[in-house]
Amino acid sequence: MTDYIPPLRDIKFTLEHVVGLDAVAALPGNEEFTADLVDSILEEAGHMAEGILSPLNRVGDEVGARLENGVVHTAPGWREAWAALVDGGWNGLPFSTEWGGMGLPNVLNTAVHEMWQSANMAFTLCPMLTQGAVNAVRLYGSDALKALYLPKMVAGTWTGTMNLTEPQAGSDLAAVRTKAVPEGDHCRISGQKIFITYGDHDMAENIVHLVLARLPDGPPGVKGISLFVVPKFLVDASGAIGAANDVTCVSLEHKLGIHGSPTAILSFGDHGGSVGYLVGEPHRGVEYMFAMMNHARLAVGLQGLAIAERAYQQALSYARERVQGRPVGWTGDKNPGIVYHPDVRRMLLTMRCQIEAMRAIHYTAAASVDLAHGSADPVQRANAQTMVELLTPIAKGWCTEVGQTLASLGVQVHGGVGYVEETGAAQHLRDARITTIYEGTTAIQANDLINRKILKDKGAMIGAFLDQIEAQAKSLTGDDSVIGLGVAEGVTKARATVAWLVNSAGQDPRISAAAGVPTLEMMGILVGGHMLAKAVTVSRVRLASGEDPDGFYTAKIESARFYSLHILPHVHALAVAATDGAATVMRMDEASL
């Protein structure tokens, strides 16, 4: 397995020139958010990724987490790595100084987590979920809960989990059966939760479980579910840790990938009931949990980008070193690395251009979160929130599907040795496989895009976004017109698909559901092309001023050109699949499948 090298120049380029970091820096409270501070944070986070987390990636995969005599042990080096994260205050980067955080923008936290997810995806699931749990308590917890739990969770000395899934209740949360019985100032929680990432471990002093459960008077369905804080160890009013709560790790799952991340089955209340504290109002648990779920969806989408970057770096390094045959058209005396074989070059460019597109999508979504929450301008806030809503299903759904594809291409570049575990290429593919499943499958993201972002307002919101994409595409001229044309043609297909969905949805709801994933993939490719077109505009300005001694900006343009001719044409096929092909999904009799 090759060493991970943080792609700092690409990250900074995307932040500054594609996303527009100046708008985030101009928000109230960000007066100290300077370019020098951004550089410093990224450099230090990169050092942690490269020097601490990356070397543990293989260890976590080979050793994994284990449950022995009721105690979960993480892989060697995990505890020390977590201590380094806590000592550096990294978990508090996006949170208010009121709770001990750094008070820095979400988009910077996203860039940091990209590097950490690339370096060690299994490890970084823990800070990812802890930050999500902080958001839920911060937004909906009582003052007493916030005062007691947030400082420790922000610091990372206590970690957080998300407890939704039960054996009979996966995506269908209406089937949740875990019970909460009131008892004084708390409730007694009883039930079982499965697939709980970092549900138990030995890295932190305490684990704060956010648990969905039903109060006795709760109505049936999702409207009868409440949210509770259930700590692993009970905590007194001063924050001191006391006796163990009635929470048991029954077992750890044996998984295809992310072996270093303990995925627990937790049993609550085997000995009288776990002590849990209500978060917010009764029966609004699913609503509250969406604060954590939306954070997790963007964070998991980021994993698609991160694992693709790691796979690309490894594939590129191997392709430069591996000599196999004489490339077509090669005129040198000595055969070069396979990077000169046209099809290997095609695979590497396929990886590179989509990684650049995914990075821009994620950073744009993250910056939009900052603007939606921090802008003093109500119009800017509303526009930013619209962008968050549109990009979330794309960032989660499309980027994780692409991440899997690119991790698989990474194996292909290696050839036979890529299928051998010693190279490390196979681990990236195994780790990537979960990303399209947890925190809402691709189909769930597609349903969100179709029903809440297209049909809800009959295509008005997405139509306005398509107008922006088309206007930007038409600004590309000369040698770049082929890039702009590819995006503009994609907009035409997307508009037609949206119109078809709006007109067809009322006829048969199964039709729009069947069109969901092709539409999501179509929009992902198109938005990715839009992001690369923005990068072309910036790169042309830099080239005109003579700022390209190493070919960085020229490469950005060539990457976009490749994307426009190799990736964007898929928009046309997906439009056909979404519209003309949707009805074929349900035509065949079930018995004939």
Q: Give the residue numbers annotated as catalytic, written as ranges.
A: 439
Residue 68 phi, psi (nearest 5): -130, 120
Answer whether 359's CB lies under 8 Å from 6's CB.
no
Residue 565 phi, psi (nearest 5): -105, -15
Sort strands 66-68 and 263-268 into parallel, antiparallel or unpaired: unpaired
Type of residue numbered 84: A
Q: What angle do CA 128, 132, 138 make, to 5 degrees?
A: 145
Task: Collect all residues with Cβ–Cβ distance below 8 Å to 422 and sequence separation of at least 6.
Answer: none
Q: H/E/C letters for each residue in 24-59?
A: HHCCCCCCCCCHHHHHHHHHHHHHHHHHHHHHHHHH
Residue 266's beta-bridge partner residues?
193, 249
d(CA 344, CA 435): 26
d(CA 340, CA 327): 6
Residue 298 in tokens = 């963007």
d(CA 378, CA 161): 34
- Inter-helix orientation angle 570-578/481-504, to 10°: 10
Sort strands 225-231 and 186-197 into parallel, antiparallel or unpaired: unpaired
Task: Collect all residues with Cβ–Cβ distance below 8 Å to 22 and sequence separation of at least 6.
Answer: none
**Alpha helix positions (H), 475-548:** 481-504, 509-514, 516-544
Answer whether 116's CB lies under 8 Å from 127's CB.
yes
Coil/strand/helix, residue 463:
helix
CA 53 to each of CA 6, 22, 49, 87, 567: distance values in angstroms, whole numbers, following the listed order = 12, 30, 5, 15, 33
d(CA 398, CA 308): 13
d(CA 529, CA 4): 27
d(CA 381, CA 370): 9
Answer whether 120's CB lies under 8 Å from 431's CB.
no
d(CA 394, CA 531): 13
